[in-house]
Structure 1
């Protein structure tokens, strides 16, 4: 992918097809659509359920669906998808079918990369009332990382895979959870070079330790704005109080007390969208920083009264949020020329660009308006 222009990359959830594990945990034929359709308003003026429009309740096993998604993305200025990938160990992987079929069929013709969603699945994060572990994330050292790389290599070698200076881009959701991070990055980089690349372009989200990421020369980018998501998991601060990101984090978390953490909270945690993103539109703290912006967020379909909701989200406010991120990147031309959008299709978290029944294509039209403006003098 050319680096001359700013690229918009959107996270992509492959959950929308049945798998045996979800059948066991939630019932035969379960996908995220089950949560989406049963959502109910929790307070006056609360808009639920949030339902898809023209793409419908799709099944990602259907090639035509993946083609329709890619066509919409290209038409409205989304340059590529970041597929969430659930590699738990060399013996266990989930929800890989859409990306594997995309690789095999060579379609759709849309750039892509992966985000390793390296997180243990617990019931309480997925709508259950208990904190039991559903499936454990494992770290198997050099041998396990080698197995993972070998699985990824055919994707890396695909012409559609997003690369920066001959380095495949690879996002890691919880990079701070990797107990032997240096072993992991060294293994991936060495194997990438052996395969003819110049290494791996690792992108870390900010739910890792900020200082250690900056000091690790192997990490080329750092996605921002994931601070608000950590409020689902507890109140532990991720950054020093004196740091820029620490100040942003503390400002957002003022409303959150110990009694409000997930599993205890009895009512949704509410933020106004425009006010919330105003706090998150920060000046770049370093030359590795990559903005991550979100059009909307309401995970009550999945979490009910324990949810986090950014109310009053609409395409106009979303366009302003995205434009600010682009303007900041223009003022920092040495930073990676990407803006990450969370997300393309996380419907159970009320977090999507795909057309919905209330706004139609307006979320996408906002993206196109900002993208078109980039190319103008």
Structure 2
């Protein structure tokens, strides 16, 4: 049996229920389903709209839905969910209801951790000639706010379901560069004062050049989204030719096949101990951004299988202490980036991940 079992943690979006601010910004009852449901195909063969199957257009205020999600994720072999967490500074939160109820109810009985989505929210115009409207700003309020933030997450850190690395609770930060080093240092102190061994900070970096700066801040690991490499690997002339071809065929300029894209989701950097690779089942941002979208079209379960094998092969070469993999994502439906069953593929992606894990673990 392979002792270096991949630890797959799936990002989880809680924005599938209405709340006051979204009602004010977008209209009464707005959720992610609003964009998903009104999506239209932009070109011949474009897979839109994407319709959920087993779970339907769910409302995350319903506890039974959350239990069903955990059951499906467990079936796929996923270790746990990384719930996106929105703390904008000075105690201001959004979308905390789902996670609060999961902690308070002890249901679902499924491993969890938090990912701080530390970025401002904008109403995007997707027009380079117009400025996006700021909806809510991400700020870093200083020591008292950092302490208040820590006290909020401490109840989760001490939950028996909370995912740990090196016996430290895993805390993911979306924009690692933006976080002040004082925040990291204070939280490490507070963690030890509260009986923890410390915190395993994992940060998302925009490019490899940010690595040294982030590690110096006190992050244990980093992950880097490399979807843009699917387009940027080409030389300038070839890239322009690809964009022109897309325009001629009525496709967004940042559109290519998933088959062409997935080999570029990994680089040699992911072989290094500090880098955590990502599994990306599909991507299509058009329900939110229309023709400004990045689209990897024609993703299939068998192409996904090849991508998973590449990621597993990379992890197999690492030390067993660093077998983490992030799955992007469990339920980002408006980004066309999800594992949940839909009408086209059913549970096929879940079954692929499960079978590849079983094969890996049997070696």
Q: What's the TM-score once normalised by structure 2's chain length? A: 0.90
Change (3 A) 1:125 1:206: farther
Q: Which one is further off, 201-210 or 136-145?
A: 201-210
Deviations 1:46-96 (A, max 9, x none): 110011001000000000000000011111211100001111113310011
Paired residues for 1:83-94 under 5 Å? 83-94=83-94
The equivalent position to 1:272 in structure 2, one of 257, 260, 267, is: 257
Q: Name which structure has the greater RCO, CA cutoff 8 Å, separation 6+.
A: 2
Compute the displacement of 1:285 (Å): 4.9
Q: Which one is further off, 198-207 or 271-280?
A: 271-280
Q: What's the TM-score once normalised by structure 1's chain length? A: 0.87
Conservation of the 8 A alpha-carbon contact between 2:188 and 2:199: yes
Deviations 1:184-205 (A, max 9, x none): 1101100001111111101111
Conservation of the 8 A alpha-carbon contact between 1:289 and 1:335: no
* 2:272 aligned counterpart, secondary structure: coil
Could you say which residue in structure 1 is the equivalent of 2:161? 160
Conservation of the 8 A alpha-carbon contact between 2:172 and 2:201: yes
**Cα distance in structure 2, aligned partners of 1:287 and 1:222:** 10
Paired residues for 1:243-262 under 5 Å? 250-251=232-233, 255=239
**Cα distance in structure 2, aligned partners of 1:370 and 1:105:** 33
**Cα distance in structure 2, aligned partners of 1:148 and 1:189:** 13
* 2:70 aligned counterpart, secondary structure: helix
Unaligned runs of 5+ in 2: 245-250
Conservation of the 8 A alpha-carbon contact between 1:206 and 1:227: no
Asked whether 1:15 is paired with 2:8, we answer: no
Unaligned runs of 5+ in 1: 232-246, 261-265
Compute the displacement of 1:169 (Å): 0.1
**Cα distance in structure 2, aligned partners of 1:20 and 1:354:** 27
**Cα distance in structure 1, aligned partners of 2:235 and 2:58:** 36
**Cα distance in structure 2, aligned partners of 1:319 and 1:339:** 15
TM-align CA RMSD: 2.4
Could you say which residue in structure 1 is the equivalent of 2:187? 188
**Cα distance in structure 2, aligned partners of 1:249 and 1:196:** 47
Could you say which residue in structure 2 is the equivalent of 1:37? 37
Could you say which residue in structure 1 is the equivalent of 2:119? 119
Asked whether 1:295 is paired with 2:281, we answer: yes
**Cα distance in structure 1, aligned partners of 2:345 and 2:42:** 21
* 2:277 aligned counterpart, secondary structure: strand
